[in-house]
Amino acid sequence: MSFTVSLFISNLNVHNFIDELNKAFESRVRLGLMSLLVVQDEMDFARLKEALQLSDGNLASHMQALEKLGYIEVHKQFIGRKPNTQYAVTELGRNAFSAHLLSLEKLIKQMQS
């Protein structure tokens, strides 16, 4: 009897952890982009593209999605006379990503015990 109960709780836990995960960060690319931006504070289009081996269009659309969610900010400037687009994570984005990693971490720890 207590066996059944504990199984039920364990299943519930998994469900909760899963629900805490942020859909916006599911994909490997998004995980990579956020990881880089959280650490680097600012990175431009070319550097991100190079770092994650993405096509122009693919990177642009991922960034657009993250921007629409308010997770990153775009700063356009000129370096010398060349256009340059810098991306930075917002406070909201930083918090959301932290929460996501924390949920992942909890899930992983749950698995290891």
- Provide the binding-site residues for DNA, judged by CB under 7 A: 23, 26-30, 44-46, 54-58, 60-65, 74, 76, 80-85
Q: Is the dihedral of CA 57, 62, 63, 65 positive or negative?
A: positive
Q: Does position 40 bind a second copy by CB under 8 A?
A: yes
Return the axis-axis angle of helices 28-40 and 91-112, rounded to nearest 10°: 120
Residue 1 or 23 with smaller CB distance to DNA: 23
Residue 75 or 109 with smaller CB distance to DNA: 75
72-79: strand order across its sheet? 43-44, 82-89, 72-79
Tell me how far, at minimum, the Cβ of 82 lies from DNA, in Å.
Answer: 5
What is the rounded CA–CA span in Å between residue 11 and residue 4? 11
| Contact string 57-86 vs a second copy (x = CB under 8 A) | ------------------------------
